[in-house]
Amino acid sequence: MYLQRPYPDELLGSLLFRASRQLGIPLKRLIPALSGTSNAELPMFITRHSGVARAFGMSLQDFTEQHTLLPYTTGFMSEESRALLLARLLGSGDLTRSSAACAQNAVKGHRWLRFCIHCINGDLRHYGEAYWRRSHQLPGVSMCTLHECSLYVSTVSVRASTQMVSPKQASGNRIVCKLPEAVELRIAQLSQDVLFGRIKPRDWALHYRQHAVQLNYARPNGPVISEVLSNDLLAYYGRKYLKSLDLGFEANKRNAWPALLMRRSRPAITALKYVLLSIFLESNPTPSKSPDQVLKKPKGARVDWQSFETDLIRKMGEILKQNQSTGERITVSELTLRAGGGKSLHHNRHKMPNLEIWLTNFKTSDLAERQTGKRPRIYKKLQKKIK
């Protein structure tokens, strides 16, 4: 089966839809014939089946680079990691999880396909038909870089299905930019550069750290001031915008994703995070707090664990007295939480040996919801028998 050559930057799902229409074969029959599987769902962004590429007169590797979003999803990986993933993905093994992770990366924060009115009109003049472009579907992209205008959000789902229409037939609403137009356009430009392979591979953690040092977000031989970096990035994009892309994080959180991208041991698979951090750093922001102000911040007072343990045992004993009068059972976690020691107990249990003994005895009592050993199922009935 041979099909017409794809248009420039045409999306995989668009190719298959046009092929189905040209051949007069339903997608639910065409896709299994090309992939050699029984799965009839439309692969919108990524495929690993060589039969699909071969039908369009291309190798699987060339087809993947030119008509899927895989180059974008792997754009910030190390050369070694990217080569390993591509070798596995283009091989014959079972890669359900890897494919799913790449597909999720490709649709981060979006549910519907997007199109540009001017691109549609140009396609109709040049080709007589319109098609869906890859570069318009990238996460966080709301503008067309060619015409520097806002895209439209269609009613065509990004999820695999057996139903689709051309962008000319799709209805949609123009995207209202949540950021300054220059920032929205820069996000689209950098994302497109990643997709087209115009970004050179590098050690991104080291690159970001060096940039952070220049901007005074990190010490040359010291730590990254992660709370300040994350808070300033949050202020730059806005909480509402980041949340709409499913990339939100808590303010003042030390291990928020902007800081994690500067650690080699914690590489992120979400390319959009790298795009947003790159654009933030290239804007040359001024830290809202100086490193000295943060690093010299006095540490909290040391905890007297013996006194804390004594007080916690006393409070839990009072709670059990109340429960004994009503015949109510309680779990260890609920008991410690109500007494005000949930997190402290979880992280510092080894510092409170007497509490360990007390809790062990509590677990064998009839007041424990999950009692060690045997016990009657209804505590209230047991009370009546004792009386």
Its domain, for residue 235, covers: 202-295
Last residue of a domain, which of 239, 270, 295?
295
pLDDT at 103: 64
pLDDT at 322: 83
Q: How much is the mean pLDDT over the chain?
A: 84
Single pTM value for the model: 0.73
pLDDT one-digit tens code per residue, 374-387? 555 444 444 444 44
pLDDT at 236: 95
Q: Which stretch, 27-36, 160-169, 267-276, has highest mean pLDDT?
A: 27-36
Question: What average pLDDT does the segment 267-282 reach?
Answer: 90
CA separation for the pair 117, 150 (Å, rounded): 9
Q: Which stretch, 36-45, 235-244, 335-344, 360-369, has highest mean pLDDT?
A: 235-244
Same domain (yes/no): 20, 159: yes
pLDDT one-digit tens code per residue, 43-83? 888 888 888 999 999 998 899 999 999 999 989 988 888 88
Residue type, 201: P
Percentage of residues in the chain having pLDDT higher than 90: 41
pLDDT at 201: 85
pLDDT one-digit tens code per residue, 195-247? 999 998 889 999 999 999 999 998 888 888 888 999 999 999 998 899 888 88
Cβ(148)–Cβ(186) below 8 Å: no
Same domain (yes/no): 138, 42: yes
pLDDT at 356: 86
pLDDT at 387: 44
Residue type, 31: I
Residue 324 has pLDDT above 70, yes or no: yes
pLDDT at 291: 74
Same domain (yes/no): 240, 168: no
Residue 250 has pLDDT above 70, yes or no: yes
pLDDT at 47: 86
Same domain (yes/no): 178, 220: no
The three-point CA angle 311-315-321 to 5° equals 145
CA separation for the pair 197, 65 (Å, rounded): 9
Distance of CA 47 to the CA centre of its chain: 21
The three-point CA angle 193-197-202 to 5° equals 95
Note whether residue 190 is domain-resident.
no
Same domain (yes/no): 85, 126: yes
pLDDT one-digit tens code per residue, 205-219? 999 999 999 999 988
Q: Is 36 exposed, middle or buried (0-12, 13-18, 19+ CB in 10 A)?
A: exposed
Quickly list DSSP for 138-154. STT--EETTTTEE-EEE
Residue 122 has pLDDT above 70, yes or no: yes
CA separation for the pair 186, 281 (Å, rounded): 13
- Does an H or E element contain 62, and which? helix 60-67
Same domain (yes/no): 148, 101: yes
Note whether residue 387 is domain-resident.
no
DSSP 8-state assignment for residue 160: -
CA separation for the pair 39, 37 (Å, rounded): 5
Residue type, 168: K
Residue 7 has pLDDT above 90, yes or no: yes
Same domain (yes/no): 290, 310: no
CA separation for the pair 290, 217 (Å, rounded): 8
pLDDT at 385: 46
Question: What average pLDDT does the segment 175-186 reach?
Answer: 94
pLDDT at 372: 61
Same domain (yes/no): 236, 332: no
Same domain (yes/no): 287, 313: no
Length of the chain: 387
pLDDT at 363: 85
Same domain (yes/no): 254, 310: no
* Number of domains observed in the structure of the chain: 3
